[in-house]
Amino acid sequence: MTQQHTHIALVTGATDGIGKEVARQLALQEVHVIIGARNPEKGEAVVQAFKEKGLEMDLVQLDITVEKSVEAAAAELERRYGRLDILVNNAGIALDRGPLSEMPIEDFIATYETNVFGTFRSTQAFLPLLRRSERGRIVNVSSSLGSLLSMTDETSKYYHVLLPAYASSKAALNVLTVHFARELKDQGIKVNAVEPGLTATRAVKLEGAHPVEVGAEAPVRYALIDDDGPTGGFFDRFGAHKW
C-alpha cells in the first residue's frame, strides 16, 4: 500500500470515448489515474499507450454490473493505495431502438443495470476509500437527456431525441447525485453530476458533436474542484445546467 501520490482517481468505462479522455486529462494534471475496464486486455493496451506518452496510469478490472467484480476492484485499490480521492462514474450504455411502446423491457433493464444500479453499486463500494481522502470527489457523467426541463422544452435541441431508457436512467442518476451529495456533505466529499455535451465518439457520430477533448472538460473540472466548490449540482462546461 502506498499514499505517495498527490491525488488518486478511478475512472470507470475508461477504455474509450469520454472516459478515456477524462483519464488522459486528469493524468496531465499529475493525478495518478486508475483505468476501470471490463476487458483487462483492452484496458492494459490503453494503459500502455498512455505510459508511452509519459502519463502515469494503472489498471483495475471492473464491471460495475457485477457485484463480485466491484468488490474485488475495491479490495485491490485498498491493497494498492489505501484511499481514493476521485471517482468518475463514467461507464454507461444506451440501448434504445425504436419507440418506447415497442422497446424490449430487457433493454430497459440492462440500461438501468449499468447507468443507475452499476453506478450506485460502485459508489457504495468505493466510499470507504473516498472517506480516507482529504478531498474526496465524485463525478457522475450524466446527460442533458436526463434533464426534465430539456425533455419538456420544445425549443431544446434535445426535445426530439427519443432515447427514453437512456434519458430516464440519467434522470435517476441525477437524483442519486443529489442524495449522495447531501449525505456526504459533512464528510468533505463533493458529489456532482456533469453533462459532457454532444460528444463525437466511436458510438456517437452526429452533426454538431464536439471532440472528446471538449466533452471531457467538465468532468475533469469538477473532479478537481477546490474545497469551496459546489456539491449536489448539475453542470456542463459552461456552468450550472438546468435540472
pLDDT tens string for the chain (243 positions)? 444 568 999 999 999 999 999 999 999 999 999 999 999 999 999 999 999 999 989 999 999 999 999 999 999 999 999 999 999 999 999 999 889 999 999 999 999 999 999 999 999 999 999 999 999 999 999 999 999 998 898 998 888 888 999 999 999 999 999 999 999 999 999 999 999 987 655 554 455 556 788 999 999 999 999 999 999 999 999 999 999
Alpha-carbon gap, residue 39 to 44, rounded angstroms = 9
Residue carrying C-alpha cell 472517506: 131
pTM: 0.94
**Are 219 and 88 in contact, with CB atoms under 8 Å apart?**
yes
Pick the CATH number of 8-240 from 1.10.3720.10, 3.30.70.270, 3.40.50.11290, 3.40.50.720: 3.40.50.720
| Domain extent listing, the chain | 8-240
Alpha-carbon gap, residue 167 to 107, rounded angstroms = 13
**Of the candidates 223, 224, 219, 225, the residue with the CA atom closest to the CA atom of residue 237:** 219
**Are 173 and 142 in contact, with CB atoms under 8 Å apart?**
yes
**Pairing status of strand 234-236 against strand 190-194:** parallel
Mapping DSSP to helix (H, G, I), strand (E, B) and coil, where does residue 45 land?
A: helix
Residues with a catalytic annotation lie at 143, 170
